[in-house]
Structure 1
Amino acid sequence: MPDWMNRIRRLAGKPSERLVRKLILLFAGLAMLIVLLLTFISYKMIERQSVESFVAGSKSNLMLVNKNIVRYFAEIDQMSTPGLQYDALIQAAECGTCDYTAQIFLENYVRSMFHSRNDIESLFFYLPSHNQYYAISKGEPGRTVRIVSDEEGRIARQKWMAMVLDRDTNRLIQTLLLDESVGYARTKDSYIAYHRVIRTLLEREPMAVLTILFSPGGRDEILRDVALAQGEQLLLADAEGRPFYWSDPAFFEQAPLTEWLADIRADEDGVLDRVLGGERYMVIGDMDQTTGWTLVKWTPYRLIYASAQKTRNVSILLGSVFVLFALLAVSLMSNAITRPLKALTRKMEAFSRGNFNVMVEVRGQDEIALLSRQFNRMVRQIEELINERYRMQLAEKNAVLKALEAELNPHFMYNALQTISTNALKKGVPEVADMVDALAGTLRYSISRRDRVLLREEIQHIERYLAIQKARFGGRLQVRFELDDRLPDVEIPKLSVQTLVENAVKHGVEKTSVPVLIRIRAWPDKLGTVIAVHDSGPGMDGEQLELLRERLARDWDDREQQGNASIGLSNLAARLKLLYGDAARLMIDSDELGTEVRILIPRGGNDGNDSGADHRG
C-alpha cells in the first residue's frame, strides 16, 4: 500500500477512537451543510430578484421606447399633411403638367417635402388622372425633381394602391422588410413606404397619392435605447402584425410571430415564457393602445440568470475553500491536543453543538488554564456577536421592508388616482377627473428621482398644482405667468418654484378673503436666471420681514432651533446653497402691497459672486 494512503488512514482512523476526530467530522459536516444551504438559498433569492428586476426594467424601457416610436410615426403623419397648401395643391394636381405654373408649384412642393427630413430616401407624387408622377431621390444626381410617365398604369395596379384608396384614414405604412413591391424605384436603405391619398374636399376624389420611402435612421436611433445583449432579439410590429424591425431575420423566420404577437397583446402583463430552437426565452412586449404599435423583446433565461449563477459559483468556491481551511486548521489543532485536555474538548463539543452557556472551570496558571480562560472569553464574545448579528438582521429586514413600502406606496397612490379619474370620466364628472389627473401628475412629478428639472417642467407642475388650489379657493386665487421665452430649458432644483408658490398661497391667499393675484415671473440676469413669485396678499411688517430674513440666513445645521416656521423657504435656501454654493440667492421683500420671493440660479450652476439679482416690479 502506498505510503500516502497509510498516512491518510492513520489521520482518519475510526470515528470512535478519539473525541477530537469526532469534532473534526462534525465541524466539517456542519460547515459543508451550511455552505451548501446558504449557497442554494442565496442563488434562489438572486434568481428571483433578477427576474423581477429584469421584467420591471424591460417593461419600463419598452414602454418609453414604444412611445417614441408612436411619436415618430405621428411626426411623419403631420409632415405629410398639406396643411395650408391644400387648395393650391389640389388645383395644381388637377392641372398636372398642362400648366407651367402648376408644374412649378408641384415641383417646389415635392422638393420642399423631400428636404424636410434627413431620413427620406425617395419621394413620389403620383397624379392618377394624368398617369404620371413627380419623383426625387437621394440616388439621383443633383437630387432634381423628375416627371415620369406611367402610361402602362404600373403604379395604379400596385396592391398598396388599392389598399390606401380604400382606407378612411387616407394613409398606409408599408413595410419593406418582406420585399413587398412598391412600383417605384427604391434604394436598398429604404425600410418603409409611407402612402397618403390627397382628395378633394367635397367629392372626395383622389387627386394625388404621395409616397415617401424612409431610411431606418430615425427608427434605429429610437430603438437604440433598447440595449440588447448578445442573444437578445427585438421586434417592432404594427397593429396588423407586420414587422417593421427585427434584430435577426433568421431568428424571426422560425418563430410563430402571428401567434406570439396575439398572445402578447392578450396577456395582461405582456410577459410570456416561450421555447424556440431548444432555448427558453422570456418574451416581454409593450403595445400602444391607440395605434397598435407593438415592441417585443426576446431574452434567453440564461442571460437573466447569469449573475445569479456567477454568484452561486463564487459562493460554492469560497465555501469549499473555507471548509478545507477550517478542516485543516482543526486537524492540526487536534494533533496538538493531549489527553489532559479531554474535559476542555467535551466543553468544546457541547459548544460546537450550539450550547453557548458552557464554561470551563479554570485551575492554576499554566497553559491549560490560559487556554480555558480564552475559551470562556470566546464563548461570551461569540454569544454577544451572535446576538448583535441577530439584532442587525432584524434591523436590516425592517429597513428593507420600509424601503419597499416607500417605493410601492407612491406608485399605488398614483395608480389609484388614475382609477378614480377614469371612473369620474365614466360617470360624467369631468371636473373631478381633471382635479384627480392634476393630483396624479403632481404625485408622479414629486416622486421622480431627479434633483434638477427644466424650468418648463416645473412650470407644468405648478399649473397642475394651481389647478387644484383654484378648485379650493375659486375666484379668490388669480394667477399670471410672465416667463421669458429664452428660459424654458434652464435647469433648476425640483420643487423650488412650487415652494415659492405654496408660500404665496399659504401666507397670501389663505390669510385674506379678498381676491389675491399671484405673479410667477422668470427672466435672465447677468449672473444667471431670476425666478420671482409675488402675491398681493396682506404682506408683512418690518419686524416680521427682518426676522424671516435672519432665519433664512442661518446655517442649515441650526434648522432644529427655528422650529417649523418658514421651514419650506429654509429648506429651499439650504438646497440652493448645497447645489450652487454662495452663487445662488434667495431674497424676500414685503410691504402693504404684498410679498415677493426671488431666487437666483447661477449661470451654468457654478459658484458666482455674492451680489444679488435686480428686483423687477
Structure 2
Amino acid sequence: MNGEAVKTLKYFKKLPIGQQLSILAFFVVAVMIFIILSNFIQVSRVMKEKNSEYVTESISQINQTIASNSDVVKRLLEKISYNSPIVQSYLNETDSVRKFVEYTQLKSYIGDMIDMKDGILDIAMIDNNGTVFNTSGDINELLPFREEIPERKLYYYSSLQTIPFNSKMRHVFIAGTRIYSITNFENKEVPIGTLLLVLDISAMLGKQEQVIRMSGSEVYMIDRNGVVFYTNNEEISVGSMYDEAQLLDGDDSDIIRTGEIPDLGGRVIIKVPASALLSEVAEIRRQQLLVFCISLAVLAFPFLFVINNILYPLKKLLRFMKEIRSGTLKTLKKRIELDGYYEMMTTTNHFNAMLDEIDDLTHKLLESNVRLYEAELVKKKSELAFLQSQINPHFLYNTLESIKGIAADEGSDKIFRISKALALVFRYSIKGADRIPLREEIQMIQNYMYIQQIRFGDRIEMEYEIDQTLLDYKVPRMILQPIVENAVFHGMEPKVGGCKLRFEAYVRENVLYLAVKDSGVGIKRDTLEHIQARLMAETRLKASGEMEDYIEGIGLFNVHDRIRLNYGNPYGVRVVSMLGIGTEVSILMPYGGELYA
C-alpha cells in the first residue's frame, strides 16, 4: 500500500461517523449498480454470441432448404428431358400427324410432372424447329430465356424474373436445361430441344415463415443480379434492387451475417438489430433497476433508523463529555442515561462507572491531602519535641564523659567501659545523617548490648550472621536499636534463666532482611494479633487515630512507619512469635544491588 492510500485511509478514519456511514451507503449502492450493469453486459455478450451462432445456423438451414428443393427440380429436369417413350419421341418425331398424337401423351405426362412439386407454375419445351409446348402462361415470355442456358450443363437457374401469369405479374425463377437425344447417336452433340420450368419463389424456399423465427430480425435473399427475391422487411418489396447502405444503417452492435446460395448464384443476408436482440434483456434490466430503486427506498428507512440510533446517543454522549470538561464539582456529580444499542449502553455504563471512580478518587485525594497536611504538622511537632529532647542527651553525654574521666583517674576499668559505651549510644542518637551504612547501625547495637550484658551478665548470649557485602549498604538511621531494646526488655528480661539474641542480615529476591531473633517469653496470641493488625495498616495514624501515638518515643511502630513512608508497601516490620518459644522481628527494605545513596 503506497503512501497516498495510507493518507486517504487516515483521512477517512478522521471523518465523523455520520459521513463515514454515508460514504459506506454510497459505495454499497454503487457496487449494487455495478453488479446489475455487469450482469447486463455479460448477459448481452452471451446473447450476442448465441444469436450470432443461431443466425449462422439459420443461413446454413436456408441453404439446405434451397439445395433440397433444387435437387428435386434437377431430378425433374433430368427425368423429363430423358424420358424416351414420351419426351424423346416427341422431340425426335418429324411426322406432324404422329407428333400431334404424341402431343396428347406429352401433355398428360407434363401435367403429372407439375403435380410432383409444389410451386411449379409451368413446364415448357421448345424444339429446334420452333415448335413450342407449355401448359399455361405466355410462352413468348419464356423464349428469350432459352438463349441464356449454357450447352452441356445439366441445369441452370435464371435470375429473378417478373412475368405475367394468368393475367397477373409473378416473380419467378426459371430453371432450364438443353435436351439431347438418347436415341439418335449421329447428332448426339446437337441439342434437340430446351426444357424450361417456371418456379414460384416458394418452390425454392419452402414455407417462408420457417425461414427464420427471430423476432426483429431482417432477412434478405438476393439473386446474382442483386435483386431481392425474399425479405421479411415490409418496407422492401420483392423484385427491387438490394441497397447495401440501408443494411449498414444502424447500430455497430447489430449482428449481420451473409451466406452464399450456390444453386441460384445469390446471397442470403440476415441482420439482427441490437435493439431487437437485447429487448428482453433490456426489459429485465429495467425490471432489476426498478426493483433496486424500490428496495433502496424501502431499505432507506431502516438504514436511517439505524444511523440515527448510532449517531444520536453518540452526539448526546459527546455533549455530556463537553460539560464534564468544564471541571466543576457539580458537573462531576451528573450521570448520563442513554437508550440505544448494546455497545452504547455498555459504553455509557463504563463511562458512568469511570465518573464514579473519578469522584471516589477525588474524595480520596482530598482525604490524602488532609492526611498529608496532618502528617506535616506531626512532623513539625516531632521535630520540635526532638530538639527539646536533645537537651537531656547532651547533658547526659557530657556528664558521662566526666564520669569516664574520673573512672580513668581512679583506675575503675568497668565503670570506664560502661560509661564509654553509654556515651557512644547517646552520641549516636543525637546527631548524624538520616541514612547510614549498616555497619554503623550494627556498631550501635553492639555498644547497646555491651551495656545490657554488664547488667544481665551471662544470661544474654549474642550471635551475629551478616552478609559482609551488606555492611556498606545504607539504611535509615536508628531502626535496629528499638527492635533490640524490645527484645531485651519484653522478651528476655521476664524470662528466668539464660537467653539467646541473634541478629541476621541477608538479601532474598532483591529484598533486604534485617532480623532480630530472641529466645524470650514470646508474645500472647491476642497481643500479637493486635500488633500485626496495626502493622498491616498504612500508618500508625490510620491504625490508632491519635496523632500523639506517632511521636511517642522511638519504638516498633515508629520503625515500621518510617520504613513504610520511605519505601511504601509491602516493606516494613514483620513480627512472628510463639509464647514460651521466642520472637522474631524482621525489617524488610528494597535492595537494588547498589549502595543506597
Q: TM-score, normalised by structure 1?
A: 0.42
Give the number of the structure whose alpha-carbon radius of gyration is greater.
2
